[in-house]
Structure 1
Amino acid sequence: MKQLRVGIIGCGGIANGKHMPALSRNKDIEMVAFCDIIVTRAEKAAKEFGVEGSEVYEDYKELLADKSIDVVHVLTPNKEHSFITIDALHAGKHVMCEKPMAKTYKEAKAMVKAAEETGKILSVGYNNRCRPDSLYLKEACLNDDLGDIYFAKAHAVRRRAVPTWGVFLNEDEQGGGPLIDIGTHALDLTLWMMNNYQPKMVVGTSYKKLAGQRHTANAWGDWNPNEFTVEDSAFGFIVMENGATVTLEASWALNTLDVKEAKCTLCGTKAGADMEDGVRVNGVKYNKQYIEKPNLESGGVAFYDGDCNGSPSDIENRNFYDAILKGTELRVKPEEALVVTRILEAIYESSETGQPVYFND
């Protein structure tokens, strides 16, 4: 089996912190091309992660013109996800696009269409599905341990952790703040657990209440209020076609102690579950209420303590490339990510208009 030749478009934080390290541990691929509008970043990435003779580009279209490249990772600001992904698919490349799928539902829908037209594999970087707690809880849902899940909460709440680097605070580049940045992970995780992708109606509110403050005790240092053009918190109330309800809470800055990120709470007819301190399952058995907490650690012997299956990024990477090389099932399907984008957009729209958003198709 030949090694797949991979190109990286966008060599910033998410590339260096997640994708390229995971790719470097994948023996089925070789990173051969790197592109960034800041060429020095692409040069640094090529030197650290590329094979000998790796190419460096400033224009992504030049990278896509290389017919020997099989796969592209799109790791740019959100504004660029859709058109780069579509161009890559039509250039004959499989694509891993970092989350969120796109700024808008229209853009995301065009991405799905391009994947269908070209027959190439497209996935989106929702690696929180690959955590041990997520995989355990998904197994419980598949086994119908919780029964009919009719109420759920998607949690993406930070007390004071506003990302102050890059373009995170730029609405034009990103499409929003914590809702589209970390709320997208929590919503994806929740819908995946429920296996429910049929939204009926959304009510949303977003706030920019703390963005203008200074001396903020922010985890990454004070933000510049003049550059903070997105919301600092947002909330959604989602009703699904089958009557199930999902609430979504997302914040970078909020005066709360109830802090949790990329987690969900599920309430079903047989049992409930949450992702507090790993996973907790609650219910009634033998006329008594119970709480079960599985041991998710893979340690237990003196000479080994760790996850034998790899990090979430490694597991995500392996699944994507197995789908390409072996035809196995893709864990994150583009049609699922499309629904997440649609709901997030509806929350922003509802907040702006003060009206519910109804889905008619």
Structure 2
Amino acid sequence: MTLKIGIIGCGGIANGKHMPALSKLEEVEMVAFCDIEKERAEKAKEEYGSNDAKVYTDYLELLADQTIDLVHVCTPNNSHAEISIAGMESGKHVMCEKPMAKTSEEARQMLEACKRTGKKLTIGYQNRFRTDSEYLHEVCADGELGDIYLGKAHAIRRRAVPTWGVFLDEEAQGGGPLIDIGTHALDLTLWMMNNYKPKYVVGNTYHQLSKTKNAANAWGPWDPEKFTVEDSAFGFITMENGATIILESSWALNTLNVGEAQTELSGTKGGADMRDGLTINGEDRGLLYERKVELETGGVDFYDGEGSDPAVTEAKSWINAILTDTDPVVKPEEALVVTEILEAIYKSAKTNQPVFLDK
């Protein structure tokens, strides 16, 4: 069986992750491409589309095609919910790029649509599919670290502010580094801890370095006038069982302790961190130990070679879930909790008060 896929949003993340990964799978073909800029959709069709692939500028017209089995939503955050819900209601499975939605209410509406329609919904947290992440998840699931009561979610850039697209637009994105890269680190941490019950959140956001003119930056200086999101954000999350998660994220911060989509865990039997590859630590027979795990891949987003590319592994896993009618690795219920915590950090920062999430 060959699944027919429609791509909605043919910008950076579609070209950088989704379409290249899907093109490596024999079980699928990309038959429709939609973008508000028709030229981008046409370019995507030429590079990745089937011979009879169609191009749209209105996603509703794409969704009206009942021959399409699933769609990948690769648009700005403020349209994730609207398009994903419409996709499921049109009878299609949906892979939505992270974060799940701009707000937790929108994310809850997506989950409700998933349950109502019976279609599958997953969110693009590809860092779960890195070799180090998969290995550490097995370690945690096997109980090697014991009861994990402290997690640190690390997503820090020194000077790497994305200056293209709508990344700096709070209305379109809902935030800056916290919702962009902090979301990956938080998802990894929650997944490792298998703990999705936050009690309360305290957070701070900063607009300090965003005011800098002619700043040093990986993608060239940003315009301070258009930099309407935070440049860094930090959260302290207390879970219902008493566990603590510390989340730190930045696009611009005066620090040398950089790294993205990393987690550090401390449990009753051992600990682990991704700072320099993957290291497991603990105590054995009265002595402390560190075990460096030799992996083909390190702790970064993408790797050379098809076999170790987390984007390809993610795509394979997602398509397999549809073909075998099983749950996707990234469940919408889990992604919803990520969005709830991120939103609570932003709210806490604005109100200078803790935000309670336990229901």
SS in 1 for 2:326: coil
Hey, what's the Cα distance between the residues in 2 that align with 1:277 and 1:27? 35
1:175 aligns with 2:174: yes
C-alpha deviation, 1:284, in angstroms: 1.2
Unaligned runs of at least 5 residues, structure 2: 298-302
Structure 2 CA distance for aligned equivalents of residues 306 and 233 of structure 1: 30
Contact kept in structure 2, 1:297 and 1:307, CA below 8 Å: no
Q: Secondary structure at the match of 1:266?
A: strand
User: Paired residue for 2:347?
Assistant: 349
Deviation digits for residues 44-89 of structure 1, max 9, x if unmatched?
A: 0001100012100000000000010000000000010000000000
Where do residues 161-310 of structure 1 align in structure 2 (5 Å cutoff)? 161-297=160-296, 309-310=307-308
Partner of residue 301, structure 1: none
Aligned pair 1:18/2:5, yes or no? no
Partner of 2:52, secondary structure, is coil
Q: Quote the residue 1:324 is aligned against.
A: 322
Secondary structure of the residue aligned to 1:34 is strand
Alpha-carbon distance between aligned partners in 2 of 1:197 and 1:84, rounded to the nearest angstrom: 26
How far does residue 324 in structure 1 lie from its aligned partner after superposition?
0.4
State the TM-score, normalized to the length of structure 1: 0.96
Shift, 1:183, TM fit: 0.3
Counterpart of 1:64? Answer: 63
> Residues 306, 80 of structure 1: CA spacing in aligned structure 2 closer, same or farther, 3 A cutoff?
closer
Cα separation, 2, equivalents of 1:189 and 1:307 = 23
What is residue 151 of structure 1 aligned with on the other side?
Answer: 150
- Residue 37 of structure 1 corresponds to 36
| Matched residue, 1:51 | 50
SS of the counterpart of 1:183?
helix
Give the match's secondary structure for 1:51.
strand
Please state how far the C-alpha of 1:216 moved relative to its aligned partner.
1.6
Q: Distance in 1 between matches of 2:311 and 2:252?
A: 26
Distance (whole Å) between structure 2 residues aligned to residue 120 and residue 66 of structure 1: 16
**What is the alpha-carbon distance in structure 2 between the residues aligned to residue 217 and residue 152 of structure 1?**
32
- Provide the secondary structure at the position in 1 that maps to 2:51: coil
Quickly say closer, same or farther: Cα 1:185–1:230, change in 2 above 3 A: same
Aligned partner of residue 54 in structure 1, secondary structure: strand
Contact 2:131–2:308 (CA under 8 A) maintained in structure 1: no
Q: Find the aligned partners of 1:319 and 1:142 in 2 and give their Cα distance.
A: 19
Equivalent-residue separation in structure 1 for 2:163 and 2:322 (angstroms): 36
How many residues are matched?
354
In 2, distance between residues paired with 1:113 and 1:154? 28
CA contact (8 A) 2:240 2:358 kept: no
Cα gap change, 1:308 to 1:207, in 2 (>3 Å): closer
Paired position in structure 1 for 2:72: 73
1:284-320 alpha-carbon deviations (Å, 9 max, x no partner): 112111110111128xxxxxx9767441001110111
Structure 1 runs of 4+ with >4 Å offset:
305-308
1:146-179, Cα deviation, whole Å (9 max, x unpaired)? 0000011000000000000000000000000000
* Counterpart amino acid of residue 261 in structure 1: E
Distance between the aligned counterparts of 1:329 and 1:104, measured in 2?
Answer: 24
The one of 295, 310, 313 aligned to 1:312: 310
SS state at 1:235 partner:
strand
Within 5 A, what are the aligned runs for 1:329-344?
Answer: 329-344=327-342
Does the CA contact (< 8 Å) of 1:95 and 1:123 recur in 2? yes
Alignment identity in percent?
Answer: 62
Q: CA deviation at 1:142?
A: 0.7
- What is the alpha-carbon root mean square deviation over aligned residues? 1.2
Q: CA deviation at 1:339?
A: 0.1
Structure 1 residue 360: Cα displacement: 3.7
Aligned to 2:99: 100
| Corresponding position of 2:134 | 135
Equivalent residue for 1:358?
356
1:24-46 Cα deviation digits (max 9, x unpaired): 01110110000000000000000
User: CA 1:80–1:235 in 2, change beyond 3 Å: closer, same or farther?
Assistant: same
Cα contact 2:130–2:308 (8 A) shared by 1: no
Tell me, yes or no, if the aligned pair for 2:198 and 2:358 is still in contact at 8 Å.
no
Q: Which amino acid is 1:178 matched to?
A: P
Deviation at 1:278, TM superposition (A): 1.5
CA contact (8 A) 1:184 1:344 kept: yes
Whole-angstrom distance in 2 between the partners of 1:37 and 1:315? 29
